[in-house]
Amino acid sequence: MTKKGRTILTSFAGSIGIIGIALILAISTGVQNYINKVEEDTLSSYPITIEESTVDMSSLMQSMSGENTDNTENKEEGKAYSADIMNDMITTLSNKKQSNNLKELKKYLDDGDNEITKNSNSIKYGYDININLYRANTDDGIVRVNPSTVMNAFGMGDMIEAQNNSAMSSVFGSSMMTNTDICFEMLDNQQLLESQYDLVKGNWPKQYNEVVLVLKEDGRIDDYTLYSLGLKDQSELKDKWKAVENGEKLDENQESTSYSYDDLLNLQFKLLLNLDYYQKQNGLWVNKEDDNNYLKEKINNAETVKVVGIIKQNEQSAVSTSVTSGIGYTKQLKEYVVEKSNDAQIVKEQKENKDVNVFSGLKFPTDEDTSTMENLTAEQRMAMSKLSSEEIAQMMETYSANKDSSYEKNLQKLGAVDIDTPTSISIYPKDFEAKDKISDAIEEYNQKQRDEGKEENTISYTDIVGTMMKSVSQIINTISYVLIAFVAISLIVSSIMIGIITYISVLERTKEIGILRAIGASKKDISRVFNAETLIIGLISGLIGIGITVLLTIPINSMILTVTGVKVVTAVPFKAGVVLVLISMFLTIIAGLIPAKIASKKDPVIALRTE
């Protein structure tokens, strides 16, 4: 108490090492939390996706690069030889293509007691269904919102549809093909959604027929979505396309349009099921999608889907993912579509008679024969003879459109899928460590299937993101450990300095030590006095170090945000702060043991004679 100033200065000097380590831990913790958030957001955009049919991408890439066709034998100099890349690709696609039993995997995941579910933020099941949304009573009449018809303005609608229905789409998965949907299913994890998106207006969906409008991270909405929603006239695109074809230049300084949040929240859509396009005529289900009067009637009586909220991707999520504007719906809407489709009369008729095409009334073709007009029954021929020329033409068109159909294709066309048999499973890990655990769990699942003799149930997938970002956290941790090691040297140096100052204090108070010994203090009492001093100095050093670090994190956070534009919240972890204070106390006690021992051994008579 008689040397408070020196004690505080000594404590401040000893806190420098604590400040250094605490700052590194604070910054490291903030950066690591930021990385964890980036990892979570990245994995939310690029989950582990297991398709119904998959192919070994590494083998395919080798085939495309020609690595498997490097044969330099019997080559004459001065000649260029062909490399059979296409043959190798075809062989790879046929040999490496694998069908995954997703029904069995879904059953395993739905049990819940497995490492895959425990380490996942969400698991999303994909099905071959369309979310058909329309807007009626617009200036353009009826606008098909989803799947979007915008690309039809450039004559690309049929090409995209053919591409999505191609064999390559079944091999690589629909996610790799061109998609005209502006609607997407949101994750079934409200906490994760709220961490990635800011609710700008309205509220989150609570019912199956409620959706949200998703804006880009800067609050804008791209014009592709505006045209799809019918907020912009699609005929403008046709005019612009014709102008470009005629060699004219487009106006690059076109003024952008704006829409109030209240107007956007008033958006409503009509939901049609795939089977709603079909009407039973003369005993056959005929496609009436191109009949505007029929379509208007169906739309007027269809289920209404409302926009109840507007969300925007927040700045932190925008760093790791790229989201375009669109419509986000919940899994309840998907389940509603599946349930309604399976309960429809046309689907029930098809399921009751699996051998007969519900659209044509003919048996499905086999490898030996085809479905043609020659296969009509006597009753069907008699019924046709009573039809008008227009009805006959329509029936002929129906027969022609369904000549290559199958039972499975018809159910898919009608959107009648088995909820227990998904076409894809998307697993969203909590972080990269959890992703590794999920990968191990999938391998354990495969091994279990092999042990039970069910090789056909094993799962194959390609983890592209895991390969890209595998070592990010490890690098950050390594850098943090190296910096802490360097700063720890300063902590040791400051502890030695405290030991020296304590020794000087012993020399200064030799007479006091003599007096204490003369009035009956033991050697242990003298030792405890100086140990208590060093302990107090260590405690004050630790508290000063943590306090100063907490204050320094405020400007540091502002500087990081100003320089990088990234919001990294640096903070000293509570447990780390307590440990650092304890370390400071321990090191100062160690540093003061020798001076305290020297003080306790001083002869009281000699000490009393000291001036």
* Res 212: pLDDT: 94
* Res 332: pLDDT: 93
Q: Which regions in the chain score pLDDT beneath 50?
A: 157, 159-160, 162-178, 319-320, 322, 371
CA atoms within 13 A on the CB side of 256: 7
* CA dihedral for 359, 360, 362, 364, sign (positive or negative): negative
* CA dihedral for 233, 238, 242, 244, sign (positive or negative): positive
CB 546 within 8 A of CB 577: yes
Supply the DSSP string of 435-493, one letter for each residue: HHHHHHHHHHHHHHHHHTT-GGG------HHHHHSTTHHHHHHHHHHHHHHHHHHHHHH
CA distance 429 to 424: 16
CA distance 232 to 256: 12
Residue 35's alpha-carbon distances to 319, 346, 420, 479, in angstroms, are: 11, 51, 36, 14
With H, G, I as helix, E, B as strand and everything else as coil, classify residue 358. coil
* Res 473: pLDDT: 59
* Res 561: pLDDT: 80
pTM over 0.85: no
Helix, strand, coil share of the chain (percent; to 5): 55, 15, 30
How many Å from the N-terminal Cα to the C-terminal Cα in the chain? 21
CA distance 191 to 40: 12
Question: Is residue 422 left, alpha or beta, with left meaning phi > 0 and alpha meaning psi from -120 to 50?
Answer: beta
CB 163 within 8 A of CB 169: yes
* Res 167: pLDDT: 38
* Res 166: pLDDT: 43
